[in-house]
C-alpha cells in the first residue's frame, strides 16, 4: 500500500509539473504590479491573490497499521510574485478522533486562470502525536520536524473564486513517512467587482 501511494504521488506530481510548465505566459508576465487586475465577463479579478483550501481524505503512515482519515486547512498568500502556504492537518482512525496533529510552512509555485489552479508547495512540518494500540499497548508520545510537500489541482466552477480539486501530499520525518490524498474546496480573494467605465488596474482580458 505504501509503495502504491508513493508511486501515485510521484506520477501525479510529474503530470502536474508538466501542466504548470505549459501554462500560457502573458507578455507582461515579467512585470509585477500588486494591484494588477484581469477583466473576465465584465468582472475584475486581482491577478496576484490569496486563497484558502479546506478538505479531507485518507493517508498512510508506515508507523501505523491502518489507514488514517485526515482533515486539513491551508492559507496560501503571496509576497510580490512569491507564494507561501501555511496550514494544519489532523488525522486518526476516524474524522475528529485524532492521533496526529501537524502544521506546515511552505514555499510554492502557482499557475491559475479563470477555470483552473495548479500549485506545488514544499517546506517544513511541525508535528506531535501518539502511537500505540488503545487498550493493548502503552501510548507513545512523539513530536518532531519533517519535510512536507504537496501538489494541488483545482477546477473552478465560479470563475477565479470557487472550485473543487484534489491534493496529494507527503510528510517525511525520522518518526514516520506519510503519504495521502484529499479532496479540497478552493476559495480565492481574486474578485474585485464589476467592470467600470475606467478600470485603471486592468491590464489585460482573460483569453478564455
| Domain architecture of the chain: domains with CATH | 2-24+48-194 (2.40.160.20)
Question: What would the pLDDT profile of 101-131 be if each residue is shown by its tens digit?
Answer: 999 999 999 999 889 999 999 999 999 998 8
Q: Evaluate whether 58 touches 68 at the Cβ level (below 8 Å).
A: yes
pLDDT for the residue 67: 93
pLDDT of residue 197: 86
- pLDDT of amino acid 54: 98
pLDDT in tens, 51-97: 999 999 999 999 888 899 999 999 999 999 999 999 999 999 999 88
The single-letter DSSP state of residue 81 is T
Which of 49, 37, 36, 16 lies closest to 155, judged by CA?
16
What is the pLDDT at residue 11? 47
- Cell digits of residue 34: 500588486
**Backbone dihedral region of 139: left (phi > 0), alpha (psi from -120 to 50 degrees) or beta?**
beta
Q: Which residues does residue 191 pair with via DSSP β-bridges, in sequence order?
A: 45
Q: Which three cell numbers stand for residue 141?
A: 508520545
Q: What's the per-residue H, E or C state across 19-63? A: HHHHCCCCCCCCCCCCCCEEEECCEEEECCCCEEEEEEEEEEECC
> DSSP letters of 85-144?
EEEEEEEEEETTEEEEEEEEEEEEEEEE-SSEEEEEEEEEEEEEEEES-TTTS--EEEEE
Check: CB of residue 166 under 8 Å from CB of residue 184.
yes
Instruction: For 128-178, write each residue's pLDDT tens digit.
Output: 998 866 666 677 899 999 999 999 999 999 888 999 999 999 999 998 999
Does the pLDDT value for residue 17 go beyond 90?
no
In whole angstroms, give the CA distance from residue 9 to residue 12.
Answer: 5
Look at residue 103 in the predicted model and tell me its pLDDT. 97
Calculate the CA dihedral of residues 143, 90, 79, 14 and round it to 10 degrees.
Answer: 100
pLDDT at residue 10 tops 50: no
Amino acid at each position: 500500500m505504501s509503495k502504491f501511494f508513493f508511486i501515485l504521488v510521484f506520477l501525479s506530481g510529474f503530470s502536474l509539473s508538466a501542466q504548470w510548465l505549459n501554462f500560457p505566459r502573458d507578455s507582461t508576465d515579467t512585470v509585477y504590479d500588486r494591484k494588477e487586475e484581469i477583466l473576465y465577463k465584465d468582472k475584475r479579478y486581482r491577478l496576484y491573490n490569496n486563497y484558502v483550501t479546506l478538505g479531507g481524505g485518507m493517508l498512510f503512515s508506515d508507523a501505523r497499521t491502518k489507514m488514517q482519515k485526515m482533515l486539513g486547512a491551508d492559507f496560501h498568500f503571496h509576497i510580490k510574485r512569491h507564494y507561501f502556504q501555511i496550514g494544519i492537518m489532523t488525522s486518526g482512525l476516524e474524522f475528529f478522533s485524532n492521533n496526529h496533529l501537524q502544521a506546515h510552512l511552505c514555499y510554492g509555485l502557482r499557475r491559475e486562470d479563470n477555470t483552473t489552479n495548479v500549485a506545488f508547495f514544499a517546506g517544513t512540518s511541525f508535528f506531535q502525536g501518539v502511537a500505540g494500540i488503545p487498550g493493548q499497548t502503552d501510548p507513545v508520545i512523539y513530536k518532531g520536524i519533517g519535510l512536507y510537500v504537496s501538489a494541488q489541482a483545482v477546477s473552478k466552477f465560479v470563475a477565479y473564486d470557487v472550485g473543487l480539486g484534489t491534493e496529494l501530499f507527503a510528510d517525511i520525518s525520522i518518526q514516520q513517512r506519510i503519504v495521502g490524498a484529499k479532496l479540497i474546496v478552493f476559495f480565492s480573494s481574486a474578485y474585485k467587482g464589476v467592470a467600470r467605465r475606467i478600470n485603471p488596474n486592468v491590464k489585460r482580458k482573460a483569453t478564455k
